[in-house]
């Protein structure tokens, strides 16, 4: 990584430099005053950079050298499925006939794109065991909200608009309760039991005639399969609620168990996790939603269908639809990448993906269990959660362990999540990492565990090798500086 | 199984199973109850080799009429603009595109600084105090603006101008339903918001007034007056803006806007059949702590060196859960990077020049249409779109145009039956005088 501090692009500016080139105007130019009303012509130009093309490339190349991606090194960030992002996906998404088509072109002129989307929908129907899929939601949280809005519409259509409670486990992703709020529901938390699974007694206690839905990740955020899933679904269904599958952890169960066969009524997937859409530094994602038959009428508009003549068509005639959740048809470019991936893997490949992801996680868990506390000691699925409480007693916090891993060139695991594990360290290796990589990471973790005992200050003061040391986050929040301002 | 993405060998597998203490991978799935166990393989297409798949998908892509081999006059929210070639070179650097959200600032300074620069550029263009790190797209950004306004004012009504992009308005309506917020459409007059109607509709229960700038018909709304009417009732003034137009138009921040949302797609982002694009969200300082999504702030490290971190996270879902300001988690960071590179390439001068070319070329097209006998529906000031009245179905005309290699304007009849036989024609800086002349001539011949 580059240790050179990189100035802001605004600090590299020199008046008069340009980095663009437009064709000279080939139509008459008139004064803007003649065309725009008084008061609507910008007086001061926006303070944008003035730099040459090489300046721009050097700037962003320097920034890229201060950033860690999956291609830079191992990225075992639990719950985020940081697997390899295949390069053919990037090429296909840039094909002229995919990248340079307009969403409002006549359907006749974009049948190729619609065919791809339809085929992706059908593949996801099979993978999830649902009856229909919409590709519109832009990301996982957007998918959660979309599905909850459909559940709400379903209850209202059945004269049960009073159902205003969504149940989420205490180990759930933060987006679950947040999405429930945005969809107009109140959240009720259900406890986990000592095995790390949803406490059935507590679930029975919180359900009632106001239950709209249960949101569940399976395997859960501890990486454990909710064995009682059928019983849980039955508890919810028996009071008239719907069961929602948060597909963030689908990488753990492909070809092993489908949400549609586990009693779930709807599901969202994160195509940027399981299906290799790159994370892009935070986005874009794609969060398709699959539903069982009784929720189909409420799918967001438009619904992509195949006509009897074999044409693809966006159907807007959906009177019970929740409406539109996004302009146009979703993050098409990410859907193209996911489709390319599914076609690259095929049925055998997707099965192997899950098997190797789970094998890798269990292997690492067993290599590390001697050195860190393992609160839930059973086979995990695609990820597992260690506790740093043993190290905490030595004065070394999980945050310190995470920072120390940076010195070894690794992106740290997810830390302090899920909330029901003290000093949690959540590790998800994925299937695209080799045994050598897993071993080297485990060796680093073991070394850090030993350092915590012998030389804790090395861990407490980490990182030692990064381009910057720990940052003052309190200052950032107390006196926010959210933009550059040109000095007069 | 052997696959180029899967490094597992038989030897690896054997050693790993031994360490775990099980005899097969299947045992690791023994916790999945028999009853829900999926048997066999998915019924999906068999895998294809890299070369064979590339060949197949190249052919599939070629089935679509693209805006590179055809001359496009289609806009309506998504535009065919100059994309500096360097944009794709920067966003193809895998340190950026294969990274996750920059939660570990020590190894994410590149991404964090790039976002900080994006926030600055958007704040500059919109004339607002600050901007966030991006939203999914212009439509959901606008919906989030409406939700913020309702939460902030504790009021339950949004007035949305009839000149706002219909798909954006639909998205606002869906979000509003979730929050039990009423959405009222303000009627349109001569292609802009009807001021008298607005005055009649607004009251002390109005959380916000939402307008678009330039509006869906390409017209320039009188933001100053609308802002005053809104503030008289203590509502928030929300503007959905085309950021390129702000190269020449007075920024909404100078005209009373409290929130400016929009889409940065005009900056180096391909049409992509509607996504991914890049929503942005800019506000005044007083709304800073209510902003949805991620914010990057400047700070220092232990040695006093300047650095960047995600900040004000107490607003966000991973901390506040059901009390968060929004449920947004993933955003459009890579597209924000693309837009930053394009904004940097255009720079201070280019932004203005490109915006101006859009106005001049659209003016040329307007005159050419009128000279050819086509009425242009609205005569107010425009940016890069005009509404041309035809005497037959726009969709039919467009079929004829496509045979000549032209992608025609948007058929407004698709969203408003009263606007049947009206084409929304977008003319960007990429369209040449010859192409505009050809469009007018072909449309003349087709009707």
A217 three-class SS: strand
Please provide the size of chain B in residues: 447
**Residue B344 near residue A484, CB atoms below 8 Å:** no
CB pair distance less than 8 Å for B97 and A85:
yes
Q: A380 pLDDT band (50/70/90 cuts)?
A: very high
Q: How confident is the model over B307-312, as a mean pLDDT?
A: 96
What confidence tens digit (pLDDT) does each residue in A423-461 have?
Answer: 999 999 999 999 999 999 999 999 999 999 999 999 999
DSSP states along B232-282: HTT-EEEEEE-TTGGGTBPPGGGGT-SEEEEE-TTTT---GGG-S--EEEE
CB pair distance less than 8 Å for A279 and B352:
no
Which residue does chain A place closest to B214, by CA atoms? A40
| CB-closest option in B60, B84, B94 to A71 | B94
Least Cα separation, residue B137 to chain A (angstroms): 8
Which residue does chain A place closest to B6, by CA atoms? A432
- Could you say which DSSP state residue B45 is in? P
> A276 in the Ramachandran plot: left (φ > 0), alpha (ψ -120 to 50) or beta?
left
Encoding tokens for residue B444? 């003349």
Cis ω before B214 (30° cut-off from 0): yes
CB pair distance less than 8 Å for B348 and A98:
no
CB pair distance less than 8 Å for A39 and B224:
yes
What confidence tens digit (pLDDT) does each residue in A194-248 have?
Answer: 999 999 999 999 999 999 999 999 999 999 999 999 999 999 999 999 999 999 9
pLDDT at A486 over 90: no
Encoding tokens for residue A301? 């508009």
Which residue does chain A place closest to B84, by CA atoms? A20
Question: Which pTM value belongs to this model?
Answer: 0.98
CB pair distance less than 8 Å for B46 and A347:
yes
Q: What are the phi and psi torsion angles at B200 (to 5°)? A: -75, -30
**Residue B260 near residue B123, CB atoms below 8 Å:** no
Q: How many CB pairs under 8 A join A and B?
A: 696
Burial of B40 (0-12, 13-18, 19+ CB in 10 A): exposed
CB pair distance less than 8 Å for B110 and A65:
yes
Least Cα separation, residue A453 to chain B (angstroms): 25
Which residue does chain B place closest to A114, by CA atoms? B64
Query: Tokens 């890069």 sit at which residue?
Result: B384
| CB-closest option in B97, B309, B327 to A145 | B327
What confidence tens digit (pLDDT) does each residue in A22-34 have?
Answer: 999 999 999 999 9
DSSP states along A375-402: SS-S--SS-EEEE-HHHHTTT--HHHHH
What's the rounded Cα separation, in Å, for the pair B21 and A359?
12
Q: Under 8 Å CB-to-CB from B411, ≥6 apart: which residues?
A: B393, B394, B395, B398, B422, B423
The number of beta carbons lying within 10 Å of the beta carbon of residue B187 is: 14
Q: Can you list the alpha helix ranges (DSSP code H) found in A263-388?
A: 332-368
Mutate to test the interface with B, among A60, A134, A183, A478 (most CBs of B within 10 A): A60
The number of beta carbons lying within 10 Å of the beta carbon of residue A43 is: 8
Least Cα separation, residue B229 to chain A (angstroms): 17
CB pair distance less than 8 Å for B97 and A281:
yes
What confidence tens digit (pLDDT) does each residue in A135-183 have?
Answer: 999 999 999 999 999 999 999 999 999 999 999 999 898 999 999 999 9
Q: Under 8 Å CB-to-CB from B317, ≥6 apart: which residues?
A: A141, A174, A175, A177, A178, B324, B326, B327, B328, B329
Q: What is the dihedral of CA B187, B190, B196, B197, to 10 degrees?
A: -10
ipTM of the complex: 0.98
Which chain B residues are Cβ-neighbours of A287 within 8 angstroms?
Answer: 330
Which chain B residues are Cβ-neighbours of A342 within 8 angstroms?
Answer: 44
pLDDT of residue A1: 66
What's the rounded Cα separation, in Å, for the pair B415 and B113?
41
């Amino acid at each position: 990584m580059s240790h050179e501090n990189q100035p802001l692009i605004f600090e590299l500016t020199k008046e008069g430099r340009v980095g663009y080139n437009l064709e000279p105007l080939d139509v008459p130019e008139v004064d803007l005053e003649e065309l725009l009303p008084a008061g609507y012509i910008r007086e001061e130009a926006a303070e944008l950079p003035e730099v040459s093309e090489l300046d721009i490339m050097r700037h962003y190349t320097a920034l890229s050298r201060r950033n860690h991606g999956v291609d830079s090194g191992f990225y075992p960030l639990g719950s985020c499925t940081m697997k390899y992002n295949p390069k053919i996906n990037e090429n296909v998404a840039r094909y002229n006939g995919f990248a340079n088509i307009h969403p409002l072109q006549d359907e006749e002129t974009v049948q190729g794109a619609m065919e791809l989307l339809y085929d992706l929908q059908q593949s996801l129907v099979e993978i999830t065991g649902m009856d229909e899929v919409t590709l519109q939601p832009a990301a996982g949280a957007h998918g959660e909200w979309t599905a909850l809005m459909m559940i709400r519409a379903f209850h209202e259509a059945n004269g049960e608009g009073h159902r205003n409670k969504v149940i989420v486990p205490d180990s759930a992703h933060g987006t679950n309760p947040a999405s429930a709020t945005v969809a107009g529901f109140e959240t009720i938390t259900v406890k986990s039991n000592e095995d790390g699974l949803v406490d059935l007694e507590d679930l029975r206690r919180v359900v009632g005639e106001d239950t709209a839905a249960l949101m569940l990740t399976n395997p859960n955020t501890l990486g454990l399969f909710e064995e009682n899933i059928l019983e849980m679904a039955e508890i919810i269904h028996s009071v008239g609620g719907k069961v929602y599958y948060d597909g963030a952890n689908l990488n753990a169960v492909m070809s092993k168990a489908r949400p549609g066969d586990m009693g779930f009524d709807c599901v969202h997937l994160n195509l940027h996790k399981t299906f290799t859409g790159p994370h892009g530094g935070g986005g874009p994602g794609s969060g398709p939603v699959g539903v069982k038959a009784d929720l189909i009428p409420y799918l967001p508009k438009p619904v992509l269908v195949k006509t009897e003549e074999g044409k693809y068509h966006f159907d807007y005639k959906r009177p019970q639809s929740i409406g539109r959740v996004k302009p146009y048809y979703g993050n098409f470019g990410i859907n193209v990448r996911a489709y390319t991936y599914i076609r690259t893997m095929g049925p055998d490949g997707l099965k192997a993906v899950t098997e190797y992801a789970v094998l890798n996680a269990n292997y690492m868990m067993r290599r590390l269990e001697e050195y860190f506390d393992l609160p839930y000691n059973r086979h995990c699925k695609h990820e597992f959660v260690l506790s740093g409480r043993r190290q905490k007693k030595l004065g070394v916090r999980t945050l310190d362990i995470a920072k120390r891993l940076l010195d070894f060139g690794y992106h740290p695991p997810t830390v302090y999540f899920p909330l029901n594990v003290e000093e949690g360290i959540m590790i998800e290796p994925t299937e695209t990492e080799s045994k050598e990589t897993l071993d080297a990471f485990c060796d680093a973790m073991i070394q850090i565990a030993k350092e915590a005992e012998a030389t804790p200050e090395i861990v407490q003061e980490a990182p030692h090798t990064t381009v910057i040391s720990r940052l003052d986050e309190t200052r950032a929040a107390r006196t926010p500086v959210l933009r550059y301002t040109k000095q007069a | 199984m052997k696959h180029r993405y899967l490094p597992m060998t038989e030897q690896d597998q054997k050693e790993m199973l031994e360490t775990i203490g099980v005899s097969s991978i299947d045992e690791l799935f023994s916790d999945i109850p028999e009853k829900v166990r999926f048997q066999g393989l998915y019924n999906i297409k068999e895998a294809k080799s890299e070369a064979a798949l590339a060949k197949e998908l190249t052919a599939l892509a070629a089935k679509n009429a693209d805006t590179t081999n055809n001359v496009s006059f289609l806009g309506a929210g998504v535009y065919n603009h100059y994309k500096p070639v360097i944009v794709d070179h920067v966003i193809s650097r895998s340190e950026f595109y294969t990274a996750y959200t920059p939660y570990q600032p020590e190894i994410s300074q590149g991404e964090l600084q790039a976002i900080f620069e994006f926030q600055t550029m958007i704040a500059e263009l919109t004339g607002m105090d600050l901007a966030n790190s991006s939203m999914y797209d212009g439509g959901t950004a606008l919906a989030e603006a409406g939700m913020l306004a309702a939460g902030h004012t504790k009021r339950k009504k949004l007035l949305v101008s009839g000149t706002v992009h219909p798909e954006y308005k639909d998205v606002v309506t869906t979000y509003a339903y979730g929050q039990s917020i009423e959405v009222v459409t303000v009627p349109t007059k001569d292609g802009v918001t009807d001021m008298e109607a607005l005055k009649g509709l607004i009251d002390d229960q109005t959380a916000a007034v939402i307008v678009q700038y330039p509006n869906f018909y390409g017209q320039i709304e009188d933001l100053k007056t609308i802002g005053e009417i809104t503030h008289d009732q203590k509502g928030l003034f929300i503007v959905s803006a085309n950021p390129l137009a702000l190269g020449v138009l007075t920024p909404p921040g100078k005209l009373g806007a409290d929130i400016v949302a929009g889409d940065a797609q005009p900056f180096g982002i391909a049409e992509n059949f509607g996504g991914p694009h890049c929503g942005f969200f800019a506000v005044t300082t007083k709304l800073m702590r209510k902003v949805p999504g991620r914010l990057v702030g400047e700070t220092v490290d232990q040695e006093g060196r300047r650095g960047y971190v995600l900040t004000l996270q107490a607003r966000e879902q991973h901390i506040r859960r059901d009390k968060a300001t929004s449920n947004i988690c993933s955003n459009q960071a890579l597209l924000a990077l693309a837009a930053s590179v394009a904004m940097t390439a255009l720079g201070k001068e280019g932004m203005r020049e490109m915006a101006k070319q859009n106005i001049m070329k659209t003016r040329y097209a307007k005159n050419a249409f009128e000279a050819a006998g086509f009425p242009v529906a609205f005569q107010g000031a425009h940016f890069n779109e005009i509404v041309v009245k035809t005497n037959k179905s726009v969709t039919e005309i467009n079929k004829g145009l496509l045979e000549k290699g032209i992608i025609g304007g948007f058929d407004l009849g698709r969203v408003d039956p009263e606007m049947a036989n009206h084409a929304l024609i977008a003319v960007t800086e990429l369209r040449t005088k010859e192409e505009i002349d050809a469009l007018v001539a072909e449309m003349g011949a087709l009707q």
